[in-house]
């Protein structure tokens, strides 16, 4: 039987290989990068950031269909990894009889996660998948402090562009500058760059939390 653990979307980032969503099992020191397409990236970012939209996207539409059908998305499961392809499924429940005869639908992880951030609902991932594809979270924390280590996740040029090519000695100053640019990007609907900036803020927070734990 496949053993599942709950995970969270740690961040969505751009890598040398394309866009990736990083899943982090709750309490784990690893993340699992899942590469996704451009449209799926935008959809996940919109749902993840609760960004208002004028008209519903495909994933919003599907959730609306579930609602009028008296169903809801109970959870998302990423249950297998074969030949570098992740396999996931949606677990749907009837509102009138929760827990009875769940409906299981095969889907791409990118679509599953785009739905999960809108529900919201738990995201579960197989322990075997984490073991097979997990990457140490310390690598991401180290990369925040050493931009030259970013190639596998975020190109150094992106780090330099977002941060103004200056590493401020004061973390609070760095955060204020990044948050100000993040607001501008969201207002201009530049979601990809907004994701890059959010990655940096998250990594800075992770580095600070790690440092505090050492004290």
The pLDDT mean for the chain works out to 78
The answer on pLDDT for 209 being more than 90 is no
Q: Which of the pair, 155 or 179, is modelled with greater confidence?
A: 179
Q: What is the mean pLDDT of residues 31-48?
A: 87
Max mean pLDDT range (80-94, 96-110, 167-181, 185-199): 80-94
- Domain regions of the chain by residue span: 4-133, 147-214
Determine contact, residues 80/86, Cβ cutoff 8 Å.
Answer: yes
Collapsed DSSP state (helix, strand, coil) of residue 70: coil
* Integer Cα distance of 31 and 195 in angstroms: 17
The strand pair at 135-136 and 30-35 is best described as: antiparallel
Determine contact, residues 88/78, Cβ cutoff 8 Å.
Answer: yes
Q: Could you check whether the bond before residue 120 is cis, i.e. omega within 30 degrees of 0?
A: yes
> Is residue 171 very low, low, confident or very high in pLDDT (cuts 50, 70, 90)?
low
Q: What is the mean pLDDT of residues 41-57?
A: 84
Tokens of 70: 């008296």
109-165 per-position pLDDT tens digit: 999 999 999 998 999 999 999 999 988 877 755 544 444 443 343 322 233 333 333
For the whole model, what pTM was predicted? 0.66
> Is residue 8 very low, low, confident or very high in pLDDT (cuts 50, 70, 90)?
very high
The answer on pLDDT for 12 being more than 50 is yes
Determine contact, residues 7/124, Cβ cutoff 8 Å.
Answer: yes
Range 4-133 classified under CATH 3.30.450.20? no
């Amino acid at each position: 039987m496949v053993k599942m653990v709950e995970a969270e979307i740690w961040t969505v980032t751009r890598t040398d290989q394309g866009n990736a969503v990083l899943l982090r099992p709750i309490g784990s020191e690893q993340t699992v990068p899942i590469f996704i397409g451009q449209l799926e990236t935008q959809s996940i970012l919109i749902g993840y950031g609760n960004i208002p939209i004028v008209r519903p996207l495909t994933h919003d539409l599907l959730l609306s269909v579930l609602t009028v059908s008296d169903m809801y998305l109970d959870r998302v499961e990423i249950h297998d990894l074969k030949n570098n392809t992740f396999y996931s499924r949606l677990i749907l429940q009837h509102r009138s009889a929760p827990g009875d005869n769940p409906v299981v639908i095969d889907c791409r992880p990118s679509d599953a996660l785009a739905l999960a951030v809108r529900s919201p609902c738990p995201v579960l991932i197989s322990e075997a998948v984490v073991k097979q594809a997990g990457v140490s979270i310390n690598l991401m924390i180290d990369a925040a402090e050493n931009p030259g280590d970013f190639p596998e996740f975020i190109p150094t040029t992106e780090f330099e562009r977002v941060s103004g090519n200056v590493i401020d000695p004061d973390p609070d100053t760095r955060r204020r500058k990044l948050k100000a640019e993040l607001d501008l990007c969201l207002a201009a609907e530049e979601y990809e760059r907004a994701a890059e900036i959010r990655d940096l803020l998250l990594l800075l927070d992770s580095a600070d939390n790690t440092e505090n734990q050492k004290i």
